[in-house]
Chains A and B, each alone.
Chain A
């Protein structure tokens, strides 16, 4: 029983950490708080499930979820760079527009995949994969995507992307079109988020128009938790950190639910985690200076 819950939580954590990887790209690499995430997570789920219900190959449906996510990010990027709308507002506009689009894609508020073929049912057919198939497929996906992003960030294009978030004036004077870099980053990010949405929906065998609500905050919480616990001394380490952050975040949520809190309280808990994580560095400094001050008085 317990190990069942533990396994389920880890599997979910792995899938969500694909989303966290996307949030890391915008939030940390591009220094851009992108709220489109709430909409693009659902978009991925909606695209994959409606295609699967319509009889499409689930692998194809999953790939397409990634691409429509790219398009959502592209849209946010164009709003921001070409029409000079602020990052926050560009994200909110995409998120809001996607809410209607997702309902259009699904045709109703939720879709059940019970009994349908998914990437997970396919994978479970492989030898030895009937029990741990979901875990193994999620793990392979996370390791693969983490490695791809890691190598991408060491390429010339990846360096241009990173410096766009670090010092835009400088990299523009070195000949990089920073508008394009922002659009590229947002596009990859939202593709990953939508991909995560399609995994989660196929695993839980349903998609719901509101399943993405609060996803950006969950993503931020995961990024921060991972960075604090694992560290950020290099790009590779930071990527491992945020992936772990995604899993740890799910574990925390599972524990909180075990304590008897209602699932509807989750968003509140997540916000509290983010607030706590955001204020804790200054909070910790205060405590340190306070105790130092008390020691000073004693001496």
Chain B
């Protein structure tokens, strides 16, 4: 599904701030994989997702989706394959535009934008039924501006937008970290539902080790720009958080920086 070979990204090359954020990252995802990504601050998790999404050119390595190389495609040309939800609820929606306008832009993800009226009654019905499934009462607020919504509502909407048109790969970067625990749980539940329903291939960064083991079928750990652990199958079902931390220390030769980490 997703194949990443020897991916390298160096920020500020040739300056005193030079930083090798990705150091020969290798990863192979099977269709339908739901992989949780963990690692200390600055491990390169976000950089990895940004590289896959095409936010910046990488320095070396290759990225393939379903055998098609996308390493050098700009972000907007990968949009038909990849969709994303960011940590900041503000960054996944256009606040000055209405809920239905945001949804129609997502429904047309990766397609050519034409000079034709964007929203018709057919689309509106689709949006209403999809919003109903969120259970947040947004189905009656299609023409409200998104900046009137709460952070949790906005994040749920972003998740809906990301999956309205089935992507080949869904990238989630701590997408519940900015929400209160109850809303976060709700958004996570929606995430599970939709990934199951649509059989999505997903990469989800989280700082919650509990979530990392509870969700998905596979967990990878990053450290200093590398994937240092890849846990799946029986190994994973028998995994505990303390064993995970132990394995991290062995693999990286250092303590995991746990200040932002949620252990239980």
Contact = CB atoms under 8 A, between A and B. Distances in A.
A258 interface: no
B211 interface: no
Interface stretch (A65-73, A108-116, A172-180, A288-296): A172-180
B75 A172 contact: yes
A227 to B, nearest CB: 13
A173 B158 CA distance: 12
A233 B106 CA distance: 23
Contacts of A157: 113-115
A125 interface: no
A175 B95 contact: no
A233 to B, nearest CB: 9
Given A154-B118, A156-B118, A159-B118, A177 B76 contact: yes
Contact of B110 (A158, A166, A175): A175
Given A159-B118, A175-B80, A166 B97 contact: yes
B80 to A, nearest CB: 6
Contacts of A173: 53, 75-76, 79, 82-84
Contact of A156 (B84, B91, B114): B114
Contacts of A169: 91
A178 B82 CA distance: 17
B114 A171 contact: no
Given A154-B118, A155-B117, A170 B110 contact: no
B94 interface: yes
A264 interface: no
B105 A174 contact: yes
B93 interface: yes
Nearest to A174: B109
A166 B96 contact: yes
A163 interface: yes
B19 interface: no
B16 to A, nearest CB: 24
B115 A159 contact: no
Contacts of A166: 94-97
**Most chain B CB inside 10 Å of its own CB: which residue of A154, A170, A176, A178:** A170
Interface in B61-119: 74-77, 79-80, 82-84, 91-97, 101, 104-106, 108-111, 113-119
Interface residues of B, number: 33
Nearest to B161: A174
Given A159-B101, A159-B118, A174 B106 contact: yes
Interface string A131-171: 00000000000000000000110111111101100110111
Determine chain A's interface SS by DSSP, over half rule: helix
Contacts of B92: 170
Contacts of A170: 91-94
Contact of B116 (A155, A160, A162, A172): A155
A173 B53 CA distance: 8
A174 B115 contact: no
B144 to A, nearest CB: 11
Contacts of A172: 75-76, 79
Nearest to B108: A156
Given A155-B118, A156-B116, A175 B109 contact: yes
A151 B76 CA distance: 25
A175 B164 CA distance: 14
Interface in B173-191: none
Given A166-B97, A167-B94, A169-B91, A159 B75 contact: no
B76 A176 contact: yes
A175 B91 contact: no
Contacts of B82: 173
Given A159-B105, A166-B94, A175 B115 contact: no
Interface in A66-94: none
A242 to B, nearest CB: 15
Contacts of A152: 115
A163 B113 contact: no
B108 to A, nearest CB: 6
B115 A160 contact: no
B97 A175 contact: no
Contact of B76 (A155, A162, A167, A178): A178
Given A158-B118, A170-B94, 7 more contacts: A156-B118, A159-B101, A159-B118, A167-B93, A173-B84, A174-B79, A175-B110
25 contacts: A154-B117, A155-B114, A155-B115, A155-B116, A156-B108, A156-B116, A157-B114, A157-B115, A158-B118, A159-B118, A162-B101, A166-B94, A166-B96, A167-B91, A169-B91, A172-B79, A173-B53, A173-B84, A174-B79, A174-B110, A174-B161, A175-B111, A176-B76, A176-B113, A178-B76
Q: 9 shortest A-B CB distances, which residue pairs? A: A175-B79, A166-B94, A175-B110, A156-B113, A163-B94, A160-B113, A167-B94, A174-B109, A157-B113
Interface of B: 53, 74-77, 79-80, 82-84, 91-97, 101, 104-106, 108-111, 113-119, 161
